[in-house]
Structure 1
């Protein structure tokens, strides 16, 4: 016993020295060191404790990602670790009154050899509120410009509604759901899947990545019709006759006088003008110009539409009407011929009593002034002569025959003019 207790101070000092030596040797061979990992994701556990109450939660400020985690452990352990070995969790069971959840960090190996963890942040911040849902009509738009000579026709989506669910404040802020398709340079129809974007009342696109919002569909099929275009003139059909003593001048002003139409290539190739008939183009009994507005859309053929989205389809039209004037011309009977022939008979204009006939013409002054007497010619038709004189077959004699005149456009005969026609049997 004396031997055991003898020199106890020396023995204690030896023990302490041995421990120190062991510690030094251990740390020299496998010293404690640290490693720092960044952007470590945090797994939320037991989230159903919130959702089962008809509530939803969203992560605030990206707090479900730890910016930096430092691990202290022997070098041999540190050298064998990687970010995938870091396990970070936040259990909703530990939700505080401030809606924060403590983050627990461990590793999936060498747990007993880790001496310490140092986190840049140690809580996940949550926003917890009631869950809400709403359905929104789905609209579609286009961006960019199709190729020259083409326009966008109908734009449709294969589904017309989207349902969203999530935090009440976020859901209530959504007023519009829409998709957009870039049509730059296209010359044919487009069918594509497009992402649905949610918008607030000010037209701002909302970021749903961290909003906690779910949607029954995230994308939708969009079909866009691309139509060929061309410009065609507008031609108006005028109804009725102006008042006595007045006539159409033939001039019609239209704004626009041509329109851009759109359609499939086969439909576009078959239209060269837009022919417009409308009740508003009735000049019956008028003594002055007709000014009116005409809806051109009713004149569009099937499969054709207007190619300018800014054009409302209405044209301003002026139909010009002018007073009729008269002028009398003395026409030599030499300028009157016989139209037709009958075997066995000679038929000719009889000028034995007069060599001229008086012809009164009517028309707009500009048209009448353009008439040259030397250019006026007439003819008597044998067929009309027989009809007017109740003849079933031609007989010799002298008859009164009405003259048909060859006149410029816009010039009319005031009253019928006749000439004597002699019929003789050939010898």
Structure 2
């Protein structure tokens, strides 16, 4: 039952006492969750995969390494149900179970502190994730455990990372030397395509050679000044950002190599002085009458003004594709869906339709809800987007689901838990 503000204590000291008690309760719950994760893994050991292989088609379930070297393996398909009942994705559930196993088997001092209540479970899990990610040997993990256990309640993330690096250097010097050689060149250009702001911006970070960085800076400054001379009234930072885009489009328009898009005839002539359009961005825009905010395929939002600006920039060639009716019932004779049917299912489902999964539908398989071999047709009503992990789970494990409406699916887990996945989520 939710507690309202009016039900809280009305003095400062009692509010603090209530907050402290609530935090302690949450910490105890997190520690108990780690115990439950270990128990779930114990109930689904790697040997259960071998037992099931005799009757599972192709024995497609495998042993899943979820913690560091030497820790027990678990049966792959058990992870999804544990995550589903917790309301988290299969990948997140794998992290929870792996961290619990790592603590109990390879970091026992930290495990005991977390279970005794004098180390918050989230701190213990953070350390476990670091040792798993580093694939420390058993000796190196024991070293980290011994060094950190007395101080883990006040150790920063950077300190944990430094100790993990020290353990690698101490117990695996050849690996440490190899990683040092790789780290010597930290150059990169990273475009965070998964994080698009409401204003339609995207974060880009880079680490460049000194000479390249200076040349890039000079080019950006020159481009920003040129935009100002052409009448731009944007701020300096905004003009610098726009200059990067102009530089990129100018670079793409150079005849250095044939564009695969041009070769395949996917780009038409530009409206800008006869030069070819230099980028193709396909936007699937979902609009509601009277609403000035549109939803894009990846779940991002954009205003109509932002969309208009994207479409009216120089060297942008706009092609309007036929609208696909998501409510139309399409049927194909064979096993493979037609391009139009596939696109319809992708746009309808948006993501993998397994509980709590958020993988984009465009990278998913299209699953026959009623299997093709059992008479299921290739149609709008019998296809759904499933990522490869959950497609295998549905095909080879005891999970079952049915379509209850447009983009609405009812799933039943092996132990009888029921989940509804629709446009609002799970």
Q: Which has the higher strand share?
A: 1
Q: Which has the larger radius of gyration?
A: 1
Higher helix share: 2
TM range (shorter): under 0.3
